[in-house]
Amino acid sequence: MEKIRVRFAPSPTGYIHVGNARTALFNWLFARKNRGVFILRIEDTDIERSAETYEKKLIEDLRWLGIEWDEGPDTGGARGPYRQSERGDLYQEQAQKLMNGGKAYYCFCSPDELERERRDAVASGRPAVYSGKCRGLAPEDARKKVETGNPAAVRLRTPGRGMLTYNDLIRGPLSFDLALTGDPVLIRSNGMPAYNFAVVVDDTLMGITHVIRGEDHISNTPRQILTYEALSFPLPSFAHLSMVMGPDNTRLSKRHGATAVDQFRQDGILSSALFNYLALLGWAPPDGEEVLDAGRLIELFRLEKVSRSAAIFDYDKLNWLNRQHMKTIPSKEAARAAYPFLKEEGLMPENMTEERWEWLERAVGVLIERINRFSEIPAEFELFSKFSPSEMDHADREDLKMESSRKVLRLFIEKTSEDEKLDFDRFSALTQEIKQESGIKGKDLYHPLRLALTGCSSGLDLDKFIPLVEEGASLHLPKSIKSCRQRIFETLNNLE
């Protein structure tokens, strides 16, 4: 059987949007699933909107997401070049072929003129289709006109009537009335190929067997099929993915919040989670398991099972998936992922010793189950780094002012010394002693301790909190962590 070849062909006009990333992902999954080839092609024929920095960014974001291509602008390959801007000759050559065969013709209509025709058509209720005004021009006359410097586009001569049907891998048979498909521009008057022509030439020359792209290309497809036929190129299979929408059911855009892959990265979303989420947007595995890594996704993926209707991007579910993925990553990796966010906030130092890493690893390990994404870690980290009894909640403060509370805290101070480092066993022993001596137990015993230690009535389990604080205190972090004894001491003083 012929080897499957698919491509992702973005135009480098900005940062990569999750909708496009999803298209890339489905292509990639399909390629890997079928042991085929995945190609990255840059569609930069619109000179005004393309920029080199965008291409670099695009490549970086795609790689971060975990999508690797077998052939592309930076990796090379046998069917290159992989930038449309470097393939000009190829388009000219194919266009010339069509001109020679009388299947294409020069069009001298100005954009203004065409725009006027279009408006008139819509106003009078007719379909907005190119009139075919220039298709009757004698080729010799047209050539002369071009040679004397008249700007001309090249258009494909289409039948203008009849029906065209093709079978979409996701949607089944799709039919179009060719009377509504005007003669498309192949080469623009500035010499650059038009999108609809460039894709056909590129996809054929690159040996693409399956064109998997967004639903917004459905109505381009008949035009492209006509072009394939005019060129006597074999037809690939087509599959059109539905769109990704925002919560208000309009096309996902900036005003919906984060939409660029890079924004999710900066927010501390794991690439494996975004990858997983995107795959689940419009596709579901057979047995309903949802937390999946790339390998499992490849195993289960089936293009025919992709949903036909548009899907709304659900930030809640992404967060949930991110939590699931955070749980599975090794603690070293979690610490590494959290570190930049903490450093940014001045909570971790530039230079990290072995000891600090080891501590961070444990700290992140307990904080990670309280957050959705790594950008939230500095706020949780305040449990350690921030301690100001004076800012305590009023009700909590009243609780501490009770005589029994004070007694607990005073006993704690009496029984510990400045230079002693507590571990949890020692802490437990201490609380037992306090209990014996004071007769205070249960909530009356633990609640004041928690308040005095954390400044807050809720938070980490004390058995996790205490050793981390005690060891963190000797780490000399930019924002120093206070020891348990110091915390209780300060709380007591602040009560007066």
Partner RNA sequence: GCCCCUGUCGUCUAGCUUGGUUGAGGACACCGCCCUUUCAAGGCGGCAACACGGGUUCAAAUCCCGUCGGGGGCGCCA
- Residues tagged active-site: 254
Total number of residues that touch RNA (CB under 7 A): 88
Q: Is 493 in the site for RNA (CB under 7 A)?
A: no
Tell me whether residue 17 or residue 356 sits nearer to RNA (CB atom): 17
Closer residue to RNA (CB): 92 or 480: 92
Q: Which stretch binds RNA (CB under 7 A): 194-202, 227-235, 267-275, 386-394?
A: 194-202
**Dist CA 101 CA 335 (whole Å):** 65
DSSP string, 96-120: HHHHHTTSEEEE---HHHHHHHHHH
Question: What does the DSSP assignment read for 117-144?
Answer: HHHHHHHTT-------TTTTS-HHHHHH
Note whether 351 binds RNA by CB under 7 A: no
Tell me the sheet residues that pair with 39: 7, 71
Least gap, CB of 496 to RNA (angstroms): 26
Q: Which of residues 74-93 bind RNA (CB under 7 A)?
A: none
Q: Does 314 bind RNA (CB under 7 A)?
A: yes
Q: Does residue number 175 form part of the binding site for RNA (CB under 7 A)?
A: yes
Cis omega before residue 12 (within 30°)?
Answer: no
If one asks whether residue 328 binds RNA (CB under 7 A), the answer comes out as no
Smaller CB separation from RNA, 5 or 325: 325
Which parts of 362-391 interact with RNA (CB under 7 A)?
Answer: 369-370
Element (H, E) at 239: strand 237-241
Distance in Å, CB of 416 to RNA, minimum: 19
Supply the minimum distance, in Å, between the C-beta of residue 332 and RNA.
Answer: 20
Nearest CB to RNA, comparing residues 356 and 389:
389
Among 90, 128, 146, 430, binds RNA (CB under 7 A): 128
> 127, 346, 439, 478: which one contacts RNA (CB under 7 A)?
127
Stretch that binds RNA, among 59-67, 336-344, 346-354, 444-452 (CB under 7 A): 444-452
Which residues fall within 8 angstroms of residue 303, CB to CB, at 6 or more apart?
Answer: 26, 30, 169, 170, 212, 239
Is the distance from CB of 313 to CB of 263 less than 8 angstroms? Answer: no
Residue 242, CA atoms < 13 Å, CB-side half-sphere: 22
Footprint on residues 247-286 left by RNA (CB under 7 A) = 249-251, 280-284
Question: Cβ of residue 185: shortest distance to RNA, in angstroms?
Answer: 4
Name residues whose C-beta falls within 8 Å of residue 97's C-beta, 6 or more positions apart in sequence.
231
> Does residue 330 belong to the site contacting RNA (CB under 7 A)?
no
CB 233 within 8 A of CB 286: no
- State yes or no: residue 398 binds RNA (CB under 7 A): no
Q: Is 317 in the site for RNA (CB under 7 A)?
A: yes
Q: How many CB atoms lie within 10 A of CB 70?
A: 13
The encoded tokens of residue 132 equal 């075919």
Contacts with RNA in 13-32 (CB under 7 A)? none
Q: Is 149 in the site for RNA (CB under 7 A)?
A: no
CB within 8 A of 356, min separation 6: which ones?
348, 349, 475, 477
Verify binding: residue 172, RNA, rule CB under 7 A: yes
Q: Find out whether 318 and 274 touch, Cβ atoms under 8 Å.
A: yes
Q: Binding marks (x or -) toward RNA, 447..486, rule CB under 7 A?
A: x--x------xxxxxx------------------------
Residue 3 or 119: which CB sits closer to RNA?
A: 119
256: DSSP letter: G
Taking CB under 7 A as the criterion, the residue among 146, 205, 218, 495 binding RNA is 218
d(CA 58, CA 69): 13
Closest separation in Å from C-beta 308 to RNA: 4
Residue holding tokens 């001109």?
A: 99
- Among residues 308, 307, 283, 309, the alpha carbon closest in space to that of 297 is found at 283
Residue 35 vs 443, nearer CB to RNA: 443
For RNA, the closer CB: 280 or 356:
280
**Site membership for RNA, residue 397 (CB under 7 A):** no
Which of the ranges 190-198, 387-395, 412-420, 470-478 carries the binding residues for RNA, by CB under 7 A? 190-198
Q: Looking at 195, 374, 387, 412, which residue binds RNA (CB under 7 A)?
A: 195
**Residue 310 corresponds to which tokens in the numbers above?**
């548009």
Q: Please state the φ and ψ torsions of residue 280, each to the nearest 5 degrees.
A: -80, -10
Single out the segment in contact with RNA by CB under 7 A; choices: 167-175, 200-208, 328-336, 410-418: 167-175
178 touching RNA, by CB under 7 A: no
Q: Which residue has tokens 């979303």?
A: 269
Among 146, 205, 243, 258, binds RNA (CB under 7 A): 243
Is residue 325 within the footprint of RNA (CB under 7 A)?
no
Give yes or no for residue 305 binding RNA (CB under 7 A). yes
The 8 Å CB, 24+ separation contacts for 159-164 are 159/226, 160/132, 164/222, 164/225, 164/226
Give SS3 for 424.
helix
**Strand duo 311-312 + 237-241: pairing:** unpaired
C-beta separation of 207 from 276 below 8 A = no
Amino acid identity of residue 22, one-letter, is R
Please give the Cα distance from 85 to 191 (Å, whole number).
11
Q: Which lies closer to RNA via its Cβ, residue 341 or residue 356? A: 341
Query: Toward RNA, which CB reaches closer, 97 or 447?
Result: 447
Binding region for RNA (CB under 7 A) out of 26-34, 58-66, 108-116, 228-236: 108-116
